[in-house]
Amino acid sequence: MPSANLRIVDPSRADARASRASRTGLLAPGRIDALTHSPWIARVAWGALPLLTGPALGEALADASRPVQLVASVGAWALWLGVLIATLVPTTVSLTALRVAAPGASIAAFAALVDAGASSTTILGLAAALAAALAALAPETAEAFVDGSSYGDERRLPLKVPIALLAGPTELAWLAVVAGVCAGPLLLAARQWVAGAVVLAIGLPAARWGVRVLHVLSRRWLVFVPTGVVVHDQLTLVDPILLRRGVLRSVGPAPADSDAFDLTGGASGLALELRLNEPVSVLPVARRRTPAELEEVTAVLVTPSRPGRATDEARRRRLG
């Protein structure tokens, strides 16, 4: 047969072209990393809730009185719009708002499923609300929003929440916010005047307390700055500490027998050890009636949400 139209392809060249295509295509690792560490997944998930979860909530409210329907609908739309606008400017305040509202939408969607029964509408609504909650609570979302509050040549990385707080206190603070804001107006709309007034009087201060507690968790960072690294954590430190570039010897995974000063607060996962060439002063938060005392330390332990990204940033800045 004639072979004029046949072309022999060098496998190595084909692999090289495929590699270049993968690097420059939509599935390139750099683009995937940029997408997952951006606010867009949380924005899209939250923005889709009126279309996917709204009908389920409407079914659940169908038998409620008109005032209750009106208060619930106006409140839901106001909350959704406010959080959506907040996500357009990623900051720690936006992160706190998103992490309060998204789990609340999941609870509302679950209640709608229980009240209206399982149907394609209520199941889809619950799935969408759960997706929004998972996106809001993801470490990558926290990193994008926390770093949005950076100034200049800073890089802020969130720290993990201590296990002791995840085992009840955090959920209690969240419940105080959600119940404090929602219960009073709904009771008043249902003409439960006395109960509504009492719950409103108690709930609003409780909600304010809960927001302050939860916002502290959004403001726990490991901050890379031109002069070194700052540990900013109100749970473990009275004041942030700066570990200067010239003093910082190494940044890496902590060995099992590390003698470094523990600033993890009991968080789980891989801890990073920041070891120094000379002592620095640290003022830890007082514990159980023990007064705060200044400590001289030569190494500290911290637990970033993504330790690998912290060590990568340290290498990029040639720290340690």
120 confidence band (pLDDT: 50, 70, 90): very high
Residue of 238, 305, 248, 306 whose CA lies nearest to 273: 248
Task: Check residue 30 and give its pLDDT.
Answer: 55
Is a pLDDT exceeding 60 seen at residue 9? no
Question: Cα Rg for the chain, rounded, in angstroms?
Answer: 25
Is a pLDDT exceeding 80 seen at residue 4? no
Residue range 5-22: mean pLDDT, rounded: 43
Task: Check residue 177 and give its pLDDT.
Answer: 97
Is a pLDDT exceeding 80 seen at residue 23? no
> How far is residue 5's CA from residue 94's CA, in Å, rounded to a whole number?
61
Provide φ and ψ at 315, rounded to 5°: -65, -40
Task: Check residue 26 and give its pLDDT.
Answer: 44
The Cβ-side half-sphere exposure at 43, using a 13 Å CA radius, reads: 15
The number of angstroms, rounded, from the C-alpha of 260 to the middle of its chain's C-alpha atoms is 27
Is a pLDDT exceeding 80 seen at residue 14? no
293 confidence band (pLDDT: 50, 70, 90): confident
Is a pLDDT exceeding 80 seen at residue 32? no
- Placement of tokens 């997952």 in the chain: 36
138: which DSSP letter? -
> With contact defined as beta carbons under 8 Å apart, do 89 and 144 qualify?
no
Residue range 175-203: mean pLDDT, rounded: 95
> How far is residue 54's CA from residue 200's CA, in Å, rounded to a whole number?
26
List, for residues 124-167, the tens digit of each pLDDT value: 999 999 999 999 999 999 999 999 988 889 999 999 999 999 99
Residues 6+ apart with CB under 8 A from 75: 182, 185
Tokens of 124: 């889809």
Residues 6+ apart with CB under 8 A from 94: 86, 87, 145, 148
Task: Check residue 149 and give its pLDDT.
Answer: 86
Is a pLDDT exceeding 50 seen at residue 288? yes
